[in-house]
């Protein structure tokens, strides 16, 4: 498994039942992985194009994707 994907599996082990902010979420894959166990996930990225993709590809009842700069 690629390192950038493995980090989401690692983070998932800490996210159960919690609210999570995924800064620099990119296309949203990691936010979706974490949403499997988290109470709520907010994915944030500077790229409006990435956020639009995440909103359509990784739609979850407990996930939101926002444009923002941390």
pLDDT at 1 over 80: no
Q: What pLDDT band is residue 3 in, cutting at 50, 70 and 90? A: low
pTM comes to 0.90
DSSP code of residue 22: E
Residue 44 CB coordination number (10 Å): 19
pLDDT in tens, 11-48: 999 999 999 999 999 999 999 999 999 999 999 999 99
Q: What pLDDT band is residue 4 in, cutting at 50, 70 and 90? A: confident
In sequence order, what are the beta bridge partners of 63? 41
């Amino acid at each position: 498994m690629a390192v950038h994907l493995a980090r989401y599996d690692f983070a998932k082990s800490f996210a159960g039942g919690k609210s999570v902010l995924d800064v620099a979420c990119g296309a949203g894959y990691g936010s979706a992985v974490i949403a499997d166990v988290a109470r709520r996930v907010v994915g944030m990225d500077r790229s409006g194009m990435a956020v639009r993709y995440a909103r359509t590809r990784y739609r979850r009842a407990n996930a939101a994707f926002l444009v923002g700069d941390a």
